Amino acid sequence: MKTPECCSICSKKTEDGIHLLRVYICGDCEKEMLETPADDPKYQFFIDQMNKAHRTAIYS
């Protein structure tokens, strides 16, 4: 049985997410990220959230 984890992007608790590096991302955010072009400002937001979460994962 899987344990629900908090998505690093939207903070939603879900079991259908994936671990990207050491960051947990829910299925919705993963899909949205894949559909967001790299030159979209929203893409940078995803990257920022990922970096933030990644740093927290390392230093906590």
Q: Scanning the structure block, which residue is given the tokens 């939207």?
A: 10
In the bound state with Zn ion, the residue whose beta carbon lies nearer, of 31 and 55, is 31
The residue (of 9 and 23) whose beta carbon lies closer to Zn ion is: 9
Q: Which residues make up the interface to Zn ion (CB under 5 A)?
A: 7, 9-10, 12, 26, 29
- Range 18-40 burial, b when 16+ CB lie within 10 A, else e: eeeeebbbbeebbebbeeeeeee
Smaller CB distance to Zn ion: residue 12 or 54? 12
We find the least distance from the C-beta atom of residue 1 to Zn ion, in angstroms, to be 21
